[in-house]
Structure 1
Amino acid sequence: MKRLIQRGLMFGNLIPVVSPILVERYNRALKRLTGKQTELTDFHIDISGYSPEIGDELGDDLYLNHKGVNRQFILLTTEQKTAPLLNAKFSTSRGILRQFIEANEAQLFALTARDGVAGELVNSVYGLDTPARLFDIGHVSIEADTTDGAVAAAAKLGGMIDQFMRDEGAWFDDVLIGNMIGLAKDTGDITRNPVKLADMTFDQDNFWTAHLGGLYLFRGVPEPAAITMGDKSGLGDLPIATVLQGDERSAIAQFLKANDLAEPIVEARGIDSGAILRQKMDFIVAAVAAGLGEDLAGATRRDLRNMGRRYFDMLPAAWHGLADLVRWAEDGGAWPHIDSEHPAYFYTLRAKAHKDADLVNMLLAELSPMDVRQLFICHKEAFYTAYRGWTDEKKDYVAQFLSTEYQVDKAGTRDALFGFEAAMSEPSGPPPLPDLIDRVGPWGAVRRRD
């Protein structure tokens, strides 16, 4: 992983903790959450406050995520909202943390100016002892407070103030007044500077989890399904009608179509579909060439095209399918026969514009693993796992490509690949009949499961 770390492709954009004051605050929060502390005097943290250095020190990469189910967090600064989430066990965790920080940014800025904030993403499941237990996760709420309990104290003081204003005899209640004064010394004037974090709860209908070999759960769609990258026979009976595994290509394609979750790249508006498909072809060529010991250091797109000619007979069916599609899209070639069982099929799709687009692109990335750029952008856990098994030649090429052609313009690349252009307005009147592409897809009907 050294190549990735050196280029900022792994452990990048973490927040450094070097001040003795911040280290002390972190230790207080860590002690409160886990009963542990660190001896390190400087380290880096992600959006949840997890530190890979402390994880190594404690010999526990899940020291803030016991059993990988209820993610705890430590906030030292609101700047953590831009950091990644390492060792993610659920695809929704980073988004939840970022929304929490942004919704409470002013309050958290004031609270972290004097103390660390410790909290937890709470659901009703404390361990996935059985696969079916995953379906008990319906929503996630957030509990958080400073290590000295400032938020709880402010809430208590607020209740006392309400009682004081409501009860006629409160002016003569010396105990109540004394308690209010005592709490106010710690909380300050909460009538002018409220110390309150918004109550936030997030529904968990559609998400990915690293548990159970990697599983995608779609419950908030018209035709729900669970899709596992492992062996579905080991999951037992699950409380969902449709359970698929990664090699059931036609069934997955039908699921995506039935729920209107994905679209062909060549039909997407506002993108250079030919360039995207050609880049996918280059990644496949690089994988083949690297496996044959080809030195890819400094390889350009022209070099990869030359390698594609040289190793033409060794290139997989996915490459040939993409080549046929590019030929049809750009040169008016023959209509490509790419059905859902074709190895190129999932390389030709991207998520449609909907709230679960990131999750669908994550699934598509895992189903088209030779597209290393999409795998890195959409599913870093799968990317790092795949990276460990690559040859040194492929590791060199991928690390260099991502650092020179992706890192320099992350936002632009993401927009070019996955951005959405607003649909053009349609004339009024009855909706037109669907054309052939709308009915059966751009390269033939998706096969239904038996």
Structure 2
Amino acid sequence: MKRLIERGLMFGNLIRISSPALIERYNRALKQLTGKKTRLKSFHVDISGYSPEVGDSLGDHLYLNEGGCNRQFILLTTEQKTAPLLNAQFSTSRGILRQFIEENEAKLFALTAKDAVAGELLNSVYSVEEPTKLFDIRQVTIEADTTEAHVKSAEELADKIERFKREEDAWWDDVLIAEMIGLAKKTGDVTRAPLKLKKMTFGQDNFWTKHFGGLYVFRDVENPAAICAGGKAELGELPIKYVFDFTDRNEIAIFLELNDLVEPIVKARGVDAAAILQQKMDFIVVDVAAGKGEKLDHATRRDIRALTRRYAADLPEEFHGLASLLRWAQGGGKWPRITSDHPAYFYTLRAKPHKDRDLVNMLLAALTPKDIRQLFICHKERFYHSYAGWSDAKKTYVAEFLEREYQVDKAGARKALFGEGEPMEEPAPLPEPEDLIELVGPRGAVRRRK
């Protein structure tokens, strides 16, 4: 992984922690959450406060995510909102954490100025030892406070202030006044600077999880299904009507079409379809050439064309299917019939713009592993796993390509693939109970979330 790390393609945008004060706060939070401490003098953290260096030193890279179910987090600075989430077990976790930080940024900025904020992404399931447990997860709620309980103390102080205002004899209640003074020394004036963090709950209807070899769950669609990267027989009976694995190509294609989740790249707006198809073909050529022992350092498009000619007889059906579609896109060929049985089929698709666009592109990336750019952008867990098994020649080419074509302009690369006006979407928080009337009025049913 050295090539990726040196180019900022792995462990990039992590937050460096080297201040003794911050390390001391981190250890207080770590002790509170896990009972452990680190002796490291500097390390890097992701959006959740997880550190690969600390994980190495503790011999436990799930030290903030025991069982991979309810992720705990440590916030030392609001700058963590721009960091990635490493060792993700659920596709929704980073978006949830980022929105929590952004919605509470001013208060978190004040709290982290003097203490670490520790918390947890809570759901009703505490273990996912059985695949069926995943389907009991419906919501994720964030619970957080400082290690010295500033938020809880602020809530207690606010309650006592209200009691002081409400009760006629409160002026003579020495115990109440002493309690208020004691809490105020810790929290400051909560009437002027409230420390209450916004409670946020997120729906967990459609998601990917790393558990059980990788599972894509789609419940909030017209035709629900679960799609597993491993064998579906190993999962047993699941509480959802349809369960597919990657060998069920026709069924997955029908599922995507019935739910209107995908569109052909050649018919998508705002993209250069021919350029995308050509790049996918180049990746396939690189895969074949690397397997033949070719050196691919600093390989140019001209070099890849030469390799295409050299290994034309060895190129797989994916290449030939995309080549026929490219000829049509460039106006020099007839429309090719590429059905879901064809190995190139899923390479010809992208997700339509909708709330689960990123999840669908993640699924497509797993179904088209030779498209290394989409795999890296949409499914980093699977990319890093695949990368470890590639030849040195392919590793070198991929690292150089991603540094040259993606790392220098991430937004531009995503625009080239996904088009204009379609930012990477985050999970939407559910409305709190008092907000429901604003959505539907004092009468009438609550609308189903889209």
Using the size of structure 2 for normalisation, the TM-score is: 0.93
- Tell me, yes or no, if structure 1 residue 31 matches structure 2 residue 39: no
Letter in 2 for 1:249: R
Give the equivalent residue in structure 2 for 1:227: 227
Give the equivalent residue in structure 2 for 1:439: none
Letter in 1 for 2:171: W
Contact residue 285 and residue 315 of structure 1 kept, 8 A: yes
Unaligned runs of 5+ in 2: 423-450
The alpha carbon displacement at 1:173 in A equals: 1.4
Give the equivalent residue in structure 2 for 1:194: 194
The alpha carbon displacement at 1:415 in A equals: 1.4
Give the equivalent residue in structure 1 for 2:7: 7
Give the equivalent residue in structure 1 for 2:419: 419
- Tell me, yes or no, if structure 1 residue 176 matches structure 2 residue 214: no
Q: What SS does structure 2 have at the residue aligned with 1:342?
A: coil
The alpha carbon displacement at 1:420 in A equals: 4.4
In 2: Cα distance, 1:168 partner to 1:140 partner: 42
Contact residue 270 and residue 421 of structure 1 kept, 8 A: no
Give the equivalent residue in structure 2 for 1:91: 91
| 1:161–1:244 distance in 2 versus 1, CA, 3 Å | same
The alpha carbon displacement at 1:234 in A equals: 1.0
The list of structure 1 runs, each at least 4 consecutive aligned residues, that deviate by more than 4 angstroms after superposition, is none
In 2: Cα distance, 1:234 partner to 1:270 partner: 41
Question: Identity percentage over the alignment?
Answer: 68
Letter in 2 for 1:239: P
In 2: Cα distance, 1:419 partner to 1:359 partner: 17
In 2: Cα distance, 1:246 partner to 1:96 partner: 28
Give the equivalent residue in structure 1 for 2:57: 57
Q: What SS does structure 1 have at the residue aligned with 2:12?
A: coil
Report which stretch shifted further, 295-304 or 164-173: 164-173
Give deviations 1:191-238, integer Å, cap 9, x for gaps: 101101000000000000000110000001000000000111111111
Give the equivalent residue in structure 2 for 1:394: 394
In 2: Cα distance, 1:122 partner to 1:412 partner: 36
Letter in 1 for 2:415: D
Structure 1 segment 34-433 matched on structure 2, within 5 A: 34-420=34-420
Give the equivalent residue in structure 1 for 2:428: none
Give deviations 1:398-441, integer Å, cap 9, x for gaps: 0110011110000110111113459xxxxxxxxxxxxxxxxxxx
Q: What SS does structure 2 have at the residue aligned with 1:331?
A: coil
Q: What SS does structure 1 have at the residue aligned with 2:169?
A: helix
Q: What SS does structure 2 have at the residue aligned with 1:195?
A: coil
Give deviations 1:28-86, integer Å, cap 9, x for gaps: 00000000000101000000000000000000000000010010000000000000000
Contact residue 353 and residue 420 of structure 1 kept, 8 A: no
Q: What SS does structure 2 have at the residue aligned with 1:140?
A: strand
Using the size of structure 1 for normalisation, the TM-score is: 0.93
Give deviations 1:346-401, integer Å, cap 9, x for gaps: 11111100011000000000000000000000000000110011111000000110
Give deviations 1:80-112, integer Å, cap 9, x for gaps: 000000000000000000000000000000100
The alpha carbon displacement at 1:332 in A equals: 3.4
| 1:62–1:421 distance in 2 versus 1, CA, 3 Å | closer
In 2: Cα distance, 1:270 partner to 1:399 partner: 27
Give the equivalent residue in structure 2 for 1:434: none
Q: What SS does structure 1 have at the residue aligned with 2:409?
A: helix
The alpha carbon displacement at 1:331 in A equals: 2.3
In 1: Cα distance, 2:352 partner to 2:299 partner: 33
Letter in 2 for 1:242: Y
Give deviations 1:319-352, integer Å, cap 9, x for gaps: 0000000101112311111001111111111110
Contact residue 317 and residue 344 of structure 2 kept, 8 A: yes
Letter in 1 for 2:355: K
In 1: Cα distance, 2:148 partner to 2:207 partner: 34
Q: What SS does structure 1 have at the residue aligned with 2:185?
A: helix
The alpha carbon displacement at 1:310 in A equals: 1.2
Q: What SS does structure 2 have at the residue aligned with 1:263?
A: strand
Contact residue 269 and residue 419 of structure 2 kept, 8 A: no
Contact residue 269 and residue 421 of structure 1 kept, 8 A: no
Letter in 2 for 1:188: G
Contact residue 47 and residue 80 of structure 1 kept, 8 A: yes
Contact residue 48 and residue 85 of structure 1 kept, 8 A: yes
The alpha carbon displacement at 1:177 in A equals: 1.1
In 2: Cα distance, 1:361 partner to 1:120 partner: 28
Contact residue 164 and residue 171 of structure 2 kept, 8 A: yes
In 2: Cα distance, 1:167 partner to 1:412 partner: 62
| 1:421–1:145 distance in 2 versus 1, CA, 3 Å | closer
In 1: Cα distance, 2:22 partner to 2:305 partner: 52
Q: What SS does structure 2 have at the residue aligned with 1:285?
A: helix
CA RMSD of aligned residues (A): 0.9
Letter in 2 for 1:33: L
| 1:20–1:421 distance in 2 versus 1, CA, 3 Å | closer
Letter in 1 for 2:342: H
In 2: Cα distance, 1:418 partner to 1:85 partner: 22
Q: What SS does structure 2 have at the residue aligned with 1:296?
A: coil
Contact residue 124 and residue 136 of structure 1 kept, 8 A: yes
In 1: Cα distance, 2:98 partner to 2:269 partner: 30
Contact residue 290 and residue 296 of structure 2 kept, 8 A: yes
Report which stretch shifted further, 92-101 or 158-167: 158-167
